[in-house]
């Protein structure tokens, strides 16, 4: 094998490694972005469900649901139920969960995390309240 052939093999190997690294980064970035879009969509669905619950029962307090509860377990009981069992964080692990911080008669606060920056929002912890999204 000539020296020129060895150099070509090395160059192609380096280009292949760079291409594979870029593809791994690209798929990881797109997955993070897709999960964050789903989180924001879930918050809109949750906001609608909580407001519907408020209009029916004149309170945001859900039976057997308090601070620290994961939102998909806050389904209520008896006549006071809410359809939130399907609202689950795409990762649903450690701090990547939708957690109730507060449910009072006239307001709610559900906390969640964004993994990456999205739609002008940097990564980090956010909260959904009656007024909308905030930190």
- Tokens in use for 9? 């093999």
Name residues whose C-beta falls within 8 Å of residue 60's C-beta, 6 or more positions apart in sequence.
Answer: 50, 53, 54, 103, 104, 105, 106, 107, 108, 130
d(CA 68, CA 75): 14
The predicted structure's pLDDT at residue 116 = 86
pLDDT tens-digit profile of 23-80? Answer: 777 766 668 888 999 999 999 999 999 999 999 999 999 998 999 999 999 999 889 9
The predicted structure's pLDDT at residue 43 = 95
d(CA 95, CA 14): 38
Residue 15 pLDDT level (bands cut at 50, 70, 90)? confident
Distances (CA, A) of 108 to 20, 35, 76, 112, 119: 45, 23, 15, 13, 24
- Domain residue limits, the chain: 3-134
pTM of the prediction?
A: 0.78
Q: Are 59 and 27 in contact (CB under 8 A)?
A: no
The predicted structure's pLDDT at residue 29 = 64
Distances (CA, A) of 71 to 4, 5, 32: 63, 61, 21
Share of the chain above pLDDT 70, in %: 96
d(CA 130, CA 32): 27
């Amino acid at each position: 094998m000539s020296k020129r052939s060895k150099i070509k093999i090395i160059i192609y190997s380096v280009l292949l490694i760079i291409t594979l690294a870029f593809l791994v980064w690209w798929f990881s970035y797109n997955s993070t972005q897709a999960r964050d879009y789903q989180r924001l969509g879930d918050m809109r669905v949750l906001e609608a469900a909580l407001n519907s619950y408020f209009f029916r029962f004149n309170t945001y307090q859900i039976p057997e649901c308090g601070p620290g509860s994961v939102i998909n377990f806050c389904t209520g009981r008896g006549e006071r139920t809410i359809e939130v069992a399907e609202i689950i964080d795409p990762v649903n692990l450690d701090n990547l969960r939708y957690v109730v911080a507060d449910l009072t008669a006239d307001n709610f606060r559900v906390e969640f995390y964004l993994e990456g920056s999205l739609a002008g929002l940097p990564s980090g912890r956010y909260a959904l309240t009656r007024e909308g999204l905030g930190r």
